[in-house]
């Protein structure tokens, strides 16, 4: 035990120790993730086709299944230095509270104004847009974390940032909206009259409060119809997982410093970017046969794309303007029941994680909302950090495992990703505190319309 205590509460790295390259886990996969398909022709998207929507260098990253290490440009690394390296925290207080022999660590990504890991990819995507000489970028945001991160990155680089925000969030989360505007972004409630797809959806469903899939369609249309603009996306895509690998690389450097080998790595999974980034270097070792880890994705029981979804080609957006991706999905027609973890409500999952999951290299569990908030409160009270509801899914799973270890006496080392803070989610905490929060678990019947909406491809 005394030796144990030599591990500090927070393992910080110096700027020098920060990674200089991102790690591309696809390079070590024998069976690669399935390519994006052109919805018109059913053929893999070419770099040229993708270049109409995305920045050139990001297209190259998206399609690169072979280069293991991709240099992080100095400008991006300098921006990272404002809020990275992020600490790896030994959760001594949580261990004490749970009376578990397990050793728990978490990688905290909430230490920046946007409050989440999304800034790691936002700055990279904005940088490549700027380098290409573009005027600006468009995107969608649901709960607002991605839009906030992107607006910060664009402000830093002097790029125009146009955000389509799901209407219900625009109205219910005015603070997130105002943070984005403070960083100079223009924020439009979606569906809007600004795009033809928005006008069509409004005509068909007057009074609709919008959805992420619909906001994506609007943002893409805006980008392709304006000279000097491209679309950027905060999760799901291969390039986003690549940028987020900085999380896992730092985690590995910190653990290696103290000779710690994790048994289990846990992360919440919405589109899969934080989890994909956290596990990348560990998964690389696993793929190369150098080490083994129990890797766990945690998703809400209300939006269970890995645990109950199908592995199939699907539309990424409601308007069906985006390429098709092969992924674990509930179908683009799936409408998730209300859930306070807005960042985990997407119908599909990153093609990289989907493929790794399909190959049995990682597993997935689903957890219910009230149990997630119970874990969030316990964590906040002992560790001090007020976690985002999304992140709290990982906390729940880590606590469950630590309690299991208490039963068995196993001294497991658990690492989980704490993706962000929950200051903008106090309405959800209020519901929980008032005992008004409910669990929604879709029945097979509820999932059927989503599966029926899958295209007949692949």
Ligand X SMILES: *Cc1c(COP(=O)(O)O)cnc(C)c1O
User: 3-state DSSP call for residue 14?
Assistant: coil
| Alpha-carbon span 103 to 158, nearest angstrom | 44
Nearer to ligand X, 149 or 197 (CB): 149
Q: What is the largest CA-CA distance in the chain?
A: 67
Residue 365 β-bridge partners: 298
Nearer to ligand X, 221 or 390 (CB): 390
Residue 457 phi, psi (nearest 5): -135, 150
Using CA atoms, how far residue 176 sits from 115, 138, 146, 194, 356, in Å, is 11, 17, 10, 21, 34
Nearer to ligand X, 154 or 344 (CB): 344
Q: Give me the count of residues in the chain.
A: 458
CB of 43: closest distance to ligand X in angstroms?
27
Nearer to ligand X, 222 or 390 (CB): 390
DSSP per-residue letters across 81-106: TTT-SPPEEE-HHHHHHHT-SSEEEE
Nearer to ligand X, 195 or 302 (CB): 302
**At which residue do the structure tokens 């906030």 appear?**
148
Nearer to ligand X, 343 or 450 (CB): 343
Which tokens belong to 370? Answer: 């009230």
CB of 273: closest distance to ligand X in angstroms?
3
Helices of type H across 288-368: 305-308, 351-358
In the complex, the residues that contact ligand X under the rule CB under 6 A are 116, 118, 145, 235, 268-274, 343-344, 388, 390-391, 419-420
**Selection from 7, 12, 24, 4 nearest residue 287 by Cα:** 24
CA-based end-to-end distance of the chain:
54
Strands 103-108 and 88-90: antiparallel
Using CA atoms, how far residue 386 sits from 383, 423, 426, in Å, is 9, 7, 10
Handedness of CA 227, 199, 325, 145 (dihedral sign): positive
| Alpha-carbon span 421 to 178, nearest angstrom | 17
| Alpha-carbon span 375 to 341, nearest angstrom | 14
Which tokens belong to 318? Answer: 């409601």
CB of 48: closest distance to ligand X in angstroms?
27
CB of 127: closest distance to ligand X in angstroms?
19
Nearer to ligand X, 100 or 144 (CB): 144
Which tokens belong to 20? Answer: 């200089």
CB of 363: closest distance to ligand X in angstroms?
16
Nearer to ligand X, 100 or 142 (CB): 142
Nearer to ligand X, 274 or 369 (CB): 274
CB of 343: closest distance to ligand X in angstroms?
3
CB of 288: closest distance to ligand X in angstroms?
24
CB of 327: closest distance to ligand X in angstroms?
12
CB of 142: closest distance to ligand X in angstroms?
8
Nearer to ligand X, 70 or 237 (CB): 237
- Let me know: does 416 contact 387? Beta carbons within 8 Å: no
Strands 88-90 and 10-11: antiparallel
CB of 347: closest distance to ligand X in angstroms?
13
């Amino acid at each position: 035990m005394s030796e144990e205590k030599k591990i500090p509460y927070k393992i910080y790295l110096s700027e020098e120790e920060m990674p200089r390259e991102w790690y591309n886990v696809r390079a070590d996969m024998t069976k690669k993730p399935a390519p994006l398909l052109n919805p018109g022709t059913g053929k893999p998207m070419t770099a040229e086709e993708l270049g109409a929507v995305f920045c050139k260098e990001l297209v190259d990253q998206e399609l690169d299944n072979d280069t293991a290490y991709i240099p992080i440009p100095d400008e991006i690394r300098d921006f990272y230095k404002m809020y990275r390296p992020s600490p790896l925290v030994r959760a001594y207080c949580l261990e004490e509270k749970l009376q578990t022999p397990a050793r728990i660590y978490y990688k905290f990504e909430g230490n920046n104004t946007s409050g989440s890991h999304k800034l790691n990819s936002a700055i990279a995507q904005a940088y490549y847009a700027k380098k290409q000489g573009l005027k600006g970028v468009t995107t969608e945001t649901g709960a607002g974390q991605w839009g906030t991160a992107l607006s910060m990155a664009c402000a830093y680089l002097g790029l125009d940032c146009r955000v389509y925000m799901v209407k219900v969030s625009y109205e219910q989360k005015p603070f997130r909206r105002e943070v984005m505007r403070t960083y100079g972004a223009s924020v439009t409630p979606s569906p809007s009259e600004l795009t033809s797809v928005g006008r069509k959806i409004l005509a068909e469903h007057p009074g609709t409060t919008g959805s992420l899939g619909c906001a994506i369609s609007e943002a893409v249309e805006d980008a392709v119809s304006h000279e000097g603009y491209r679309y950027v996306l905060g999760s799901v895509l291969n390039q986003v997982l690549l940028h987020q690998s900085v999380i896992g690389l730092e985690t590995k450097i910190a653990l290696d410093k103290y000779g710690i080998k994790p048994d289990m790595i846990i992360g919440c999974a919405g589109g899969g970017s934080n989890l994909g980034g956290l596990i990348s270097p560990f998964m690389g070792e696993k793929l190369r046969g150098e080490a083994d880890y129990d890797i766990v994705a945690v998703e809400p029981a209300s939006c269970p794309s890995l645990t109950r979804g199908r592995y199939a080609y699907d539309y990424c957006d409601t308007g069906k303007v985006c390429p098709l991706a092969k992924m674990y999905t509930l179908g683009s027609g799936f409408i998730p029941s209300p859930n306070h973890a807005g960042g985990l409500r997407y119908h599909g999952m990153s093609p990289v994680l989907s493929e790794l999951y399909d190959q049995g290299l990682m597993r997935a569990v689903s957890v219910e909302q009230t149990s997630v908030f119970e874990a969030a409160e316990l964590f906040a009270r002992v560790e001090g950090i007020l976690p985002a509801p999304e992140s709290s899914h990982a906390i729940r799973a880590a606590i469950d495992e630590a309690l299991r270890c208490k039963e068995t006496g196993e001294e497991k080392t658990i690492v989980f990703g704490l993706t962000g803070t929950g200051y903008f989610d106090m309405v959800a905490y209020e519901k929980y505190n008032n005992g008004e929060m409910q669990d929604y678990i879709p029945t097979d019947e509820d999932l059927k319309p989503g599966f029926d909406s899958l295209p007949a491809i692949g």
